[in-house]
Structure 1
Amino acid sequence: MAHQTEIGKEIVDMLMFSMYPVPCTIFREYIQNAYDSIREAVEDSLLSSLNDGMVYIHTDKANRVITIEDNGTGIPTEQAEQRLKDVGKSIKRYMRSINKPRAGWFGVGRLVGAGYCQKLTFSTTAAGENVTSELVFDVNKIREILTNDEENMGAGQVIDECTSFRNDIPAIEDEHKFIVKLEGILPDYSSLLDHNSIKNYIIQAAPLAYDMMFKRLIKKCDDSKKDHFGELGYIRISLNDDSDLKKAYSDIVEGTGDKIEGLCIFDIKDGDDVLAWGWYGLTRFTKQIEDTERSSLTRGIRLRVQNIQIGDLNYFGGKNFFREARANEYFNGEVIVVDDGIRPTSDRSDLEPSAKSLRLKELIKDYFSTKMQPVYKAASEAKKAIEHYSDASTKIDEVNEKPISESFTKEVKEDRISEYTNDKAEASSKFNALVNRKLKEETPEGVKKVIRLYEEEATNNNIGIVSEAAIVPSKATKKDIKQDNLDEKIQMLSPKYSSNQIRIVKKCFNLIDKFYSKKYPDLVKSIKYSIVNGLLG
């Protein structure tokens, strides 16, 4: 007789106590199961849309109890015991009508809670039935069997020995639900009862909708791009008194204060096949995102499958995807896997190794390195040029306000103004050269967009518009310029410029004289001559 394979009790040990070492992952696993059940309820017309699906999570600190309930299909009575006891037998891998994969693939995630409590209970009611089925795991008893070396049970025997099932609990006939109850949360895992810790984890990991401020950014996107967001599945989740949690993304980047001016949406393609799509917030990228509790909810690009997070905020950190280890910490954004052949590992720490998943990672690395990293690099260059210009302007103001004295003569004052005017012109030249260089056709679109943001800022603040002709090379040249007749120089602008254009120049000079000539006479005169000389160029 052929040998019959046996599955030892150590498998139960692994699935319940070793496979998910991070406590908060229990919420992701049970939410993931609820998500599948709610999608199935929509297919079966028990719910009109995903938006009607709801997951309720309640924590009772005093009694150390966690309850997680969803209004998905529930499990029919005749199937309940088998489906709740069997391990690794996920009944279907694809949703029926849309032929899309379920979020849960392996049929083992429901055991995750056992590692953190003394008693684990599943209760379920299916639509059209008037009874609730219940399976109770005596987790303390399981621990005793697993630690007893003399107990030589198989995995199935352990589960049968340590569970009790009943299906005679009265229920309301129209109800359909599934309830997970963890009782006696172990002292070492009190974080599972902490409201803020749970909330912070769920709004990162779960398939949630975006908040209103972020939705306004989506509405601004091109129609062809924002359709991606409409295809994302999500459910509503309530945690204690916090109803309908949302992802933490808004129109401001936590950790920098930068305003998100728009969304850069991109596809990750292998030939004509879209493997994933993503977005990142377009800001001025003024600095790396600070590491705070609030910023950790959105910092970095996140990887998601079925709108459920893979890994954590550091998944794209280091040099595995960007050329610089710090690069990921400049961005808010997500990469959403859409190819059904790319699946997460059972613990959702990564993607299952396959030719497609490896190809996806290669393509993401290429996009991040060549299209995204240059964005914050260009922003840094533009920011520095504007800062240098502003610093020089401030120094000129300070010099003009300083009274003439024996140690600070008129000649010294003029020399300082000349020096700082040169600094301004140099910063302006660098900025304009950057703009011209980065707005070329072959430049990544994200780089062009961020440069336009800084160009707009420069224009609004009269920064970056001073031509290189404003540079005063020496004191002698500066004196020669002052001796020229400005009116004659303006007349020399014709016929190179039209009379209307010359009239605009004169009006601009009149405005400058009106507001600044009394306070900064030398600077105003120098600027006017520099502008005219630049136009005569």
Structure 2
Amino acid sequence: MTTTQQPTAPAAASGAQPVVRRAHIGSYVLETLTVGMYGEPRHAIREYIQNAYDSIRRARRSKWLEPAKGSVTITLDDLASTLTIEDDGTGISAATAWSVLSSVGASSKDRRQQAGFRGIGRLAGIAYCDELRFVTKYAGETTETTVTFDCVRLRAAMDPDRSAGEDIQDLLAAAVTDKPRAVPPSEAPSHYMRVIMDGLSEAPEEITDVALLRTYLVQTSPADFNKDFPFTERIRALAIDAGQPLEPIEINLVHRRIDEGGQTEDGLDVADDPLEEVGSGYGAPPQPAITIDTYEIRKPYLSSVKPANRNAVKLQNIRGIRDEATPPKWWGWIGTHQVLGALTDEGRGLRVRVRDIQIDGTVITDGMFASIRPTYARFNEWHIGEIHVVCADAIPNARRDGFEENATWLAIQAELSPTLKDLASKTYKASSGRSKIKKLAEKVETYLAAASQAIGPTITMDEQQELIAEARVVSGEIADAASQDLISAEDAEALTALTARVNSTRRRIEDVEVVRPGETAITMSPADAMSVVYETLADMLDPALYRRVRRRIEEELARRQT
């Protein structure tokens, strides 16, 4: 019988403790989980909002917050060069704050109940700031804990040109510190988490531009619908029916910006405040004027949608969709509106969400449309709607820009396929109609140009008949386009205008004097024509007869004019 010898640890000297082995995990792993993790920098902010969302929902279940309460405030401070994400969720106890926040790839969260579960999202900010601070407090405690990541030190350890791959545990022990702070007993009931990204000098524009940040937040966050969106209650009912009610939270984006030419914090105009002048000799440093803008973050859907180069059209209704399983793996809604073209709305395109947090942008559903036909990917932007994946076996990947390609996710895509094919078919017809109308407009312009060139004081019979026949053909094509089911009121009006222009030109052609075959059209003025007649008579008649004939012609013309 053959036996396999198992490797053993090196023998310890007699009486010595056994040698303990520890695998070396280099700091380059941290680069994969931070700088190399997200192609979209704003995904780092989404990770903190996702953690805040889970914490707020826990606080609601623990009765620390009322069912509909809970908020996140994102503050971009240009003067301090910080971005802060603060929530009133449960926070983390002082006893576990350092171990929880410094752990990598470890989380006690249940992925079947919570949005985040891998334990790497909290590291996302390391890539974009000089110092990352977590300030947290747990309800009932009188200690606030600040855990600080030295991001400059950590990024240097990730750089192969500057580091030899320092052990990740030694690195985190040196670069991550915690500091407790006692709070008054009156503050013991409070609970919160404050994530501060400090030192944004090298952060990308997506994080430091408030407009880009706002656009991202309204698309991705678990916020409520806009107040004038008419179908909120319908969608909430669909979610309840699917077994996973929506649990929106209040989200606000605050921008503290330097106001050039505005007022200082003491209310004086910058131009009139002597303390604003550097080196003014008054002893106080200049204080830049600060303006604070606050944006309420809500999902971007409104009561209308705006196609490109078109007027806004009313969102007529929504259509609920879901799979047939019990409980369902997914559910969703699709807006019903006049399909006129690609939309320009912030929420355009069908978007996939898990725990009401968007997974990437529209890339996932673009790909589903493209699987029907590659050119159909563009049709996604002609629609609005959401697809909520509720089955825990459909697992978002680590970057949360897609899903793990397992059997459940493949089944969900297959189940969505008939709905997307129906949308693609209707969109294709509408797109073809738009293309046909554009071609008709070009055809009418070509016809009108040719007719304008042919129309004069007279026209040959062949030219007249040819232009009239062409007018009838063009008018027939316009009438055919106007009879299509998906024609919009705007397009119908445009087609009516084209018909009127063609008919007007046709009537002009019919009114022009026709030169019969064998006839010669006279195109000069009557006076010039009479001059030619008189010159011809003068050449053919003797002078006396010419004068009598000319006088008779002039008398006859005068008589007929009266």
TM-score when normalising by structure 2:
0.66
Partners of 2:225 and 2:477 lie apart in 1 by 44
Change (3 A) 1:169 1:25: farther
* 1:258-269 → structure 2 map (5 Å cutoff): 258-269=312-323
Change (3 A) 1:154 1:396: closer
**Larger gyration radius, structure 1 or structure 2:** 2
Is the contact between residue 218 and residue 226 of structure 1 (CA under 8 Å) also seen in structure 2? no
| Deviation per residue, 1:256-300 (Å, 9 max, x gap) | 5441432442434265663222333333322234xxxxx373232
**Of 352, 355, 358, which aligns to 1:306?**
355
Q: Which amino acid aligns with 1:231?
A: P
Cross-structure match for 1:30: 48
Specify the SS of the correspondent of 1:242.
strand
Q: CA RMSD in A?
A: 4.2
**Of 30, 37, 47, which aligns to 2:65?**
47
Specify the SS of the correspondent of 1:6.
coil
* 1:24-423 → structure 2 map (5 Å cutoff): 24-50=42-68, 52-93=69-110, 100-147=112-159, 153-170=166-183, 172-213=187-228, 215-218=229-232, 231-240=245-254, 241-250=293-302, 251-253=304-306, 255-257=308-310, 258-269=312-323, 274-289=328-343, 295=344, 297-317=346-366, 320-323=370-373, 324=375, 325-368=377-420, 370-380=421-431, 406-407=457-458, 420=471, 423=474
Specify the SS of the correspondent of 1:76.
coil
Is the contact between residue 136 and residue 165 of structure 1 (CA under 8 Å) also seen in structure 2? yes
Identity %: 25
Partners of 2:71 and 2:58 lie apart in 1 by 13
Is the contact between residue 306 and residue 345 of structure 2 (CA under 8 Å) also seen in structure 1? no
* 1:492-507 → structure 2 map (5 Å cutoff): none
| Deviation per residue, 1:16-68 (Å, 9 max, x gap) | 33222432221101000000001111101111124x21111112222321111
Cross-structure match for 2:274: none
Choose between structure 1 and 2: higher helix proportion.
1
Partners of 1:110 and 1:393 lie apart in 2 by 62
Q: Which amino acid aligns with 2:114?
A: R
Q: Which amino acid aligns with 1:162?
A: A
Is the contact between residue 76 and residue 83 of structure 2 (CA under 8 Å) also seen in structure 1? yes
Is the contact between residue 396 and residue 421 of structure 1 (CA under 8 Å) also seen in structure 2? no
Is the contact between residue 239 and residue 246 of structure 2 (CA under 8 Å) also seen in structure 1? no
Q: Which amino acid aligns with 1:49?
A: P
| Deviation per residue, 1:328-369 (Å, 9 max, x gap) | 23223322212222121111111122110122223334432x
Change (3 A) 1:382 1:264: farther
Is the contact between residue 219 and residue 346 of structure 2 (CA under 8 Å) also seen in structure 1? yes
Q: Which amino acid aligns with 2:207?
A: L
Change (3 A) 1:428 1:158: same
> Any gaps of 5 or more consecutive residues in structure 1?
95-99, 290-294, 399-403, 436-450, 464-537
Partners of 1:145 and 1:108 lie apart in 2 by 18
Q: How many Å apart are 1:117 and its aligned residue?
A: 1.4
TM-score when normalising by structure 1:
0.69
Change (3 A) 1:223 1:421: farther
Q: Which amino acid aligns with 1:122?
A: F
Q: Which amino acid aligns with 1:252?
A: V
Change (3 A) 1:210 1:229: farther
| Corresponding pairs, count | 435
Q: Which amino acid aligns with 2:389?
A: V
Partners of 1:225 and 1:188 lie apart in 2 by 38
Is the contact between residue 305 and residue 345 of structure 2 (CA under 8 Å) also seen in structure 1? no
Partners of 1:101 and 1:418 lie apart in 2 by 71
Cross-structure match for 2:514: none
Q: Which amino acid aligns with 1:321?
A: S
Partners of 1:157 and 1:352 lie apart in 2 by 32
Partners of 2:309 and 2:333 lie apart in 1 by 19
Change (3 A) 1:261 1:248: closer
Change (3 A) 1:426 1:372: same
> Any gaps of 5 or more consecutive residues in structure 2?
1-7, 10-19, 255-292, 450-454, 498-562
Is the contact between residue 236 and residue 246 of structure 2 (CA under 8 Å) also seen in structure 1? no
Partners of 2:236 and 2:207 lie apart in 1 by 42
Partners of 1:414 and 1:222 lie apart in 2 by 64
